């Protein structure tokens, strides 16, 4: 394909009901370069599915949740004028969903969990394609599992980039000549064809991966805010949208809690220099944020982010001073359990690090086995109810006064851990969750208002 291609992704609130999907369809139709529409599950559906997958529920409780899912999906279906064709397909998907939800090993088998978790996006893409067709577009619903090859780490799968490119060129690109393809975010398949998922919020990542695989020039992330803000607009009304951001800044913000983008979204964009746009599907005319390689300005302070539900682990041995290889043994255990450490500080006899463990994630990170193994070699303390707050910016290590400005803004707070220096784009600290809102507001006031 010669012309530039745009991939447009629409999140859960954007595809929550018939009217919001109509707004999305209009956005797709208005931009003739948009050839791929990546959709999330309708708002609320994935949380229902996580419950079905992870909680030991009675048959009545399962029925109740399934009923709620039906209501959301059928409400959309009932508004589509010529829905006969998709109606049967939607009921088939709902029946498939129920069979996984009632699977006797649903709480223990991650492969069954992922099959269940994928259903929200599969229903959503079916309905969005139908609504696009109703608006006159030549749209098809495309099963992303044909191209989005991953490893078999169910619930947290990693993409196989080479395979995805190959499969997308063979199976997706030819469709784009004359059609708009609607496909599922968040979902993939392993080499055996078993359904996998990319982790919560993974649809942004899917859009960027598809954009990379088909050589798209732009990737739009349509959501419920008019761009990436100086901080989460739910924390302070003074947050304001940013017209531009660099790939590095956006990656840093996403990693440290700006939920508007999945943390891995910037990787494909950075590799292929794909410009990423973030805007509101409800108010597309209000513009948004362009994320790109080179920005007009590189200010020392760009944004403040907050990441909730951090678990802080401190491992301590009085012998550490002399014990060569202690750190190696600790991190061997961490790596074996596939835990990803975010922040870390060390002293002569102790190391503290944080792990991310958000609610509604698919598995408990600091699990019993890891704790037992660590306790065999040292004293271990686990603290919960903590948040990480991060200031994101540029050249933070070389600009005079950066840290004093930050620390004087938050001098009233008790900080549990501070990380600064390893990365020129961020300064992070860990704080009790009951104070993090206030700390973000204090920082935002000092740095941006
Ligand atoms: P979607 O369902 O479209 O993927 P998400 O809920 O995942 O949307 O992400 C959008 C939300 O991200 C916003 O409603 C906002 O509350 C939150 N958010 C957190 N940090 C930021 C930020 N810095 N800028 C914009 N939104 C943010
Ligand atoms: N539906 C999935 C979730 O809620 C993926 C996404 O929306 O990006 O996590
Ligand atoms: Mg999201």
Rounded CA gap, 38 and 9, in Å?
4
Residue 382 in any domain: the answer is yes
Same domain, 312 and 204: no
What pLDDT is stored for residue 150 in this prediction?
Answer: 98
pLDDT band (50, 70, 90) for residue 79: very high
Residue 294 in any domain: the answer is no
Kindly state the average pLDDT of the residues 119-141: 97
Q: How many CB atoms lie within 10 A of CB 308?
A: 16
Mutate to test the pocket of ligand 2, among 8, 13, 120, 207 (most ligand atoms within 8 A of CB): 120
Rounded CA gap, 45 and 282, in Å?
20
What pLDDT is stored for residue 91 in this prediction?
Answer: 97
Of 43, 65, 42, 67, residue with least CA distance to 55:
65
Which of 198, 223, 248 represents a domain boundary (last residue)? Answer: 223
CA distances (Å), origin 378, targets 236, 313, 331, 371, 448: 42, 12, 13, 10, 43
Cα 235 to averaged position of ligand 1 atoms, centre (Å):
11
**Does the beta carbon of 125 sit less than 6 angstroms from any atom of ligand 1?**
no
Of 377, 373, 307, 378, residue with least CA distance to 343:
307
Same domain, 212 and 309: no
Cα 283 to averaged position of ligand 2 atoms, centre (Å):
21
Same domain, 155 and 43: yes
Q: How many CB atoms lie within 10 A of CB 429?
A: 23
Residue 366 in any domain: the answer is yes
Closest ligand 1 atom to Cα of 231:
23
CA distances (Å), origin 114, targets 51, 57, 65, 200: 13, 18, 17, 11
Rounded to a whole number, what is the distance in angstroms from the first to the last CA of the chain?
A: 46
Closest ligand 2 atom to Cα of 47:
4
Residue 149 in any domain: the answer is yes
Which of 177, 195, 223 represents a domain boundary (last residue)? Answer: 223
Same domain, 40 and 189: yes
Q: What is the pLDDT of residues 294-332, one digit of tens each?
A: 999 999 999 999 999 998 999 988 765 556 778 888 889
Range in 32-36, 106-110, 362-366 the model is least confident about:
362-366
CATH number for the domain that contains residue 197: 3.40.1160.10
pLDDT band (50, 70, 90) for residue 2: low
What pLDDT is stored for residue 318 in this prediction?
Answer: 72
Q: At 60, is the secondary structure helix, strand, or coil?
A: helix
Residue 422 in any domain: the answer is yes
Residue 275 in any domain: the answer is no
Q: Whose CA is nearest to atom 12 of ligand 1?
A: 260
Same domain, 309 and 218: no
Which of 196, 223, 250 represents a domain boundary (last residue)? Answer: 223
Kindly state the average pLDDT of the residues 166-192: 98
Containing structural domain, residue 159: 3-223
Of 131, 43, 125, residue with least CA distance to 79:
131
Residue 189 in any domain: the answer is yes
Q: How many domains does the chain have?
A: 2
- Please list all protein residues whose beta carbon sits less than 5 angstroms from ligand 3, which is an ion: 11, 201
Protein residues with CB under 6 Å of any ligand 2 atom = 11-12, 40-41, 46, 120, 185-186, 200-203
């Amino acid at each position: 394909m010669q012309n530039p291609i745009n991939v447009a992704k629409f999140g859960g609130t954007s595809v929550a009901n018939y009217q919001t999907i109509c707004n999305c369809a209009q956005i797709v139709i208005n931009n003739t370069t948009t050839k791929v529409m990546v959709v999330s599950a309708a708002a609320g559906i994935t949380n229902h599915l996580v419950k079905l997958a992870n909680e030991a529920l009675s048959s009545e409780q399962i029925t109740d949740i399934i009923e709620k899912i039906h209501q959301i999906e059928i409400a959309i279906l009932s508004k589509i004028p010529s829905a006969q064709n998709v109606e049967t397909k939607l009921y088939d998907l709902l029946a498939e969903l129920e069979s996984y939800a009632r699977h006797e090993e649903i709480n223990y088998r991650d492969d069954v969990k992922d099959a269940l978790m994928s259903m929200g996006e599969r229903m959503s893409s079916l309905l969005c394609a139908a609504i696009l067709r109703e608006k006159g577009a030549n749209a098809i619903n495309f099963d992303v599992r044909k191209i989005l090859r991953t490893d078999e780490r169910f619930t947290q799968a990693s993409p196989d980039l080479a395979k995805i490119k190959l499969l997308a060129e063979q199976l997706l690109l030819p469709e784009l000549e004359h059609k708009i393809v609607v496909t599922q975010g968040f979902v993939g398949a392993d080499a055996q064809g078993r359904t996998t998922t990319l982790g919560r919020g993974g649809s942004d990542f899917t859009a960027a991966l598809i954009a990379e695989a088909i050589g798209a020039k732009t990737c739009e992330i349509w959501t419920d805010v008019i761009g990436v803000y100086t901080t989460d607009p739910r924390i302070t009304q003074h947050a304001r949208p940013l017209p531009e951001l660099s790939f590095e800044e956006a990656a840093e913000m996403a990693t440290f809690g700006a939920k508007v983008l999945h943390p891995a979204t910037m990787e494909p964009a950075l590799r292929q220099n794909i410009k990423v746009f973030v805007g509101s599907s409800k108010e597309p005319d209000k513009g948004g944020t362009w994320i790109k390689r080179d920005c007009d300005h590189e200010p020392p302070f760009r944004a403040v982010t907050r990441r909730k539900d951090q678990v802080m682990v401190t491992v301590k041995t009085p012998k550490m001073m002399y014990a060569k290889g202690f750190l190696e043994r600790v991190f061997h255990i961490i790596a074996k359990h596939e835990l990803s450490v975010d922040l870390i500080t060390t002293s002569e006899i102790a190391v503290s690090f944080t792990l991310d463990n958000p609610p509604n994630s698919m598995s408990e990170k600091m699990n019993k086995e890891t704790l037992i193994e660590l306790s065999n070699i040292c004293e271990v303390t686990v603290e919960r109810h903590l948040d990480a707050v991060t200031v994101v910016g540029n050249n933070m290590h070389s600009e005079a006064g950066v840290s004093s400005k930050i620390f004087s803004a938050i001098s009233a707070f008790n900080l549990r851990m501070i990380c600064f220096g390893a990365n020129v784009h961020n300064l992070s600290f860990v704080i009790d969750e009951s104070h993090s809102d206030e700390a973000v507001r204090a920082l935002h006031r000092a740095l941006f208002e």
